[in-house]
């Protein structure tokens, strides 16, 4: 199931719902990406990031996420996949994305979950803008995301 | 040809609008042709497409390379490489 | 943090607590193993499994899990690891194990979470007994678990 | 030598107890020696250790191979290969 929404969601509640929908799967791997508290880590920077905003391409986003989830289903024996992704403005500590993959064998669940995250990061049409105390600016794409996504091609 | 053109993120900001309807001449056949044609429409367009290596394209909501023919597509979107959370 | 307990735990609630403890980590990978509803899948079998029981080695279990978590911390830059593992009798659909790994980069979180699960499955002293409508019996170890655990040695 | 011996899972069931205190003679020096000595203690012990390839050992709560010397260890545990959930 794919959900793209601006409203906050509760990662724990969604995980529990996914678990009970998949009582016939032994293993569930999940990934949660949250707006991290930058101040703790980028202590060298004078910029204080207070929020971030994700613009997206309504319609295409859903299609891309459906396509990525379908691709995961063709690659691994999975019972279910859930992707919840937010857009719009988000505050520190809020969940941005939740991916859950349910499978009989944990290796399949882990691989599918990581695959969905890697493809999502390079192919789902989201663009991040950081709001700080001084300005707001678009964030550049990361080469490391391309590298991670490409790993999944090599194995074909 | 009649195309609905969408712009996102800083491409939208440079062009100055998020959406426009365009009707280029018939010799505009590929994505690359559309970009060249759009660059002539305003200084904002020219600025947005000045470095085409920074532009990604979706045709009818599918990622495509620049040499793709427009064909019967109804919607084309231009945007920067996608970005998400920090992780 | 390591917790070994006989009481049921709520995977979603524990995940949320872990997320809020790790607001400075962007990415959290988790794995939940639950008592799956066997009837849906092993339809060829006449045996109906109703519950399972995990015996463990009190004291050593905690030490092994601490050792595995510490090993994960030496291998990947992680902000936090949580392992909750139950022992005793468990009913269908109940969570048996939860592993959470928090990191700045998702690849580290995924690898650490999968590593902890793989080592846990071969090294944490748990023994599973299945209760069915006809009998109860000890379950044999799986060769596939050894193979998965050994992968992490090869990369050294 | 005085050792606290623990048994788990079907090893415990075959031996008939989960814990016992033993004091083998001084020529019992390794884990393998302890196993051979235990096999002489009762038919249940002999049955539990009949196929030693199915037995795993922890010495003072650390996994060890059969050729490990007991040394000053206080606790030895015998059990089948560990097992967990289905996933």
pLDDT tens track for D32-81: 999 999 999 999 999 999 999 999 999 999 999 999 999 999 999 999 99
Domain-embedded: residue D87: no
* pLDDT (0 to 100) of residue C48: 77
Which residues of chain D have a CB within 8 Å of the CB of C55?
8-9
Residue B15's domain spans which residues? Answer: 9-79
DSSP assignment letter at B30? B
Q: How far out from the chain centre does Cα A85 lie? A: 6
Domain-embedded: residue B22: yes
* pLDDT (0 to 100) of residue C41: 47
Instruction: Give CA–CA dist A84/A21, Å, rounded.
Output: 16
Calculated CA dihedral for residues C108, C113, C114, C116, nearest 10 degrees? 120
pLDDT of A68 > 50? The answer is: yes
CB-nearest to C138 from D9, D85, D87 is D9
Instruction: Give CA–CA dist D37/B60, Å, rounded.
Output: 77
Residue of C nearest to D19 (CA): C57
pLDDT of C156 > 60? The answer is: no
Pick from A111, A51, A39, A138: nearest CA to A86: A51
Give the start-to-end residue ranges of the domains of chain C: 2-36+48-149
Tell me the pLDDT band of A40, cut-offs 50, 70 and 90: very low
Query: Which C residues, 12 through 51, put their C-beta within 8 Å of a C-beta on chain D?
Result: 33-36
* pLDDT (0 to 100) of residue A46: 61
pLDDT tens track for A5-27: 999 999 999 999 999 999 888 89
Q: What is the mean pLDDT of residues C63-89?
A: 98
Q: What is the mean pLDDT of residues A36-52?
A: 66
Query: Of residues A43 and D30, which shows the higher confidence score?
Result: D30
Tell me the pLDDT band of C143, cut-offs 50, 70 and 90: confident
Backbone angles phi, psi at C28, to 5 degrees: -130, 120
Report chain D's C-alpha Rg in angstroms.
12
Q: What is the mean pLDDT of residues C89-99?
A: 94
Pick from A16, A2, A29: nearest CA to A115: A29
pLDDT of C75 > 90? The answer is: yes
pLDDT tens track for C109-139: 999 999 999 999 999 999 999 988 888 899 9
Q: What is the mean pLDDT of residues B13-24?
A: 97
Looking only at the bridges linking them, the beta strands covering B75-79 and A136-138 are: unpaired
Tokens of C78: 């992680």
**C-alpha distance from D85 to closest chain A C-alpha (Å):** 7
* Dihedral sign of CA atoms B51, B56, B60, B66 in order: positive
Residue of C nearest to D12 (CA): C55
Instruction: Give CA–CA dist C60/D77, Å, rounded.
Output: 10
Domain-embedded: residue D4: no
Pick from C114, C98, C123: nearest CA to C152: C114
Tell me the pLDDT band of A76, cut-offs 50, 70 and 90: very high
Give the domain CATH number at B23.
3.10.20
For chain C, what percent of residues have pLDDT higher than 90? 71
| Cβ contact C23–A92 (<8 Å) | yes
Residue of A nearest to B19 (CA): A57
The answer to whether B and A touch (≥3 CB pairs < 8 Å) is yes
Backbone angles phi, psi at A105, to 5 degrees: -110, 135
* pLDDT (0 to 100) of residue C45: 58
Domain-embedded: residue D3: no
Looking only at the bridges linking them, the beta strands covering C136-138 and C49-56 are: unpaired
pTM over 0.95: no
Report yes or no: C56 and C62 within 8 Å, Cβ to Cβ. Answer: no
Which residues of chain C have a CB within 8 Å of the CB of B85?
26-27
pLDDT of C68 > 80? The answer is: yes
Provide ipTM, 2 decimals: 0.93
Tell me the pLDDT band of B84, cut-offs 50, 70 and 90: confident
In DSSP notation, chain C reads -EEEESS---HHHHHHHHHHHTTT-SEEEEEEEE---GGGT-TT-S--EEEEEEEE-TTHHHHHHHHHHHHHHHHS--SEEEEEEE-EEEETT-EEEEEEEEESSHHHHHHHHHHHHHHHHHHS-EEEEEEESS-EEEPPP-HHHHHHHHHHHHT-
Q: A59 in the Ramachandran plot: left (φ > 0), alpha (ψ -120 to 50) or beta?
A: left
Domain-embedded: residue B1: no
pLDDT tens track for A30-39: 999 999 876 5
Superfamily in which the C2-36+48-149 domain is placed by CATH? Molybdopterin biosynthesis MoaE subunit (3.90.1170.40)
* pLDDT (0 to 100) of residue C142: 85
Q: How many domains does chain B have?
A: 1
Instruction: Give CA–CA dist C63/A32, Å, rounded.
Output: 28
The reply to whether A151 touches chain D by the CB within 8 Å rule is no
| Cβ contact C109–B86 (<8 Å) | no
């Amino acid at each position: 199931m794919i959900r793209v929404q601006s409203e906050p969601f509760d990662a724990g509640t969604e995980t529990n719902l996914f678990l009970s929908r998949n009582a016939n799967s032994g293993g569930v791997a999940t990934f949660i990406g949250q707006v991290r508290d930058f101040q703790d880590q980028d202590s060298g920077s004078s910029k204080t990031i207070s929020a971030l905003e994700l613009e997206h391409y309504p319609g295409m986003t859903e299609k891309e996420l459906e396509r990525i989830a379908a691709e995961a289903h063709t690659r691994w024996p999975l019972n279910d996949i859930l992707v919840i992704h937010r857009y719009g403005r988000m505050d520190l500590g809020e969940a941005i994305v939740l991916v859950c993959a349910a499978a009989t064998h944990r290796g399949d669940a882990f691989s599918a979950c990581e695959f969905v995250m890697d493809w999502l990061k390079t192919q789902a049409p989201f663009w991040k803008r950081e709001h700080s105390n001084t300005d707001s600016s678009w964030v550049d794409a990361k080469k490391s995301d391309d590298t991670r996504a490409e790993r999944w091609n090599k194995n074909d | 040809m009649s195309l609905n053109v969408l712009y996102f993120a800083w491409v939208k900001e440079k062009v100055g609008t998020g959406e426009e309807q365009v009707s280029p001449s018939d010799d505009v056949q590929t994505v690359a042709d559309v970009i060249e044609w759009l660059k002539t429409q305003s200084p904002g367009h020219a600025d947005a497409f000045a470095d085409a290596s920074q532009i990604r394209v979706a045709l009818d909501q599918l990622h495509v390379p620049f040499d793709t023919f427009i064909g019967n597509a109804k919607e084309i979107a231009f945007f920067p490489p996608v970005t998400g959370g920090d992780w």
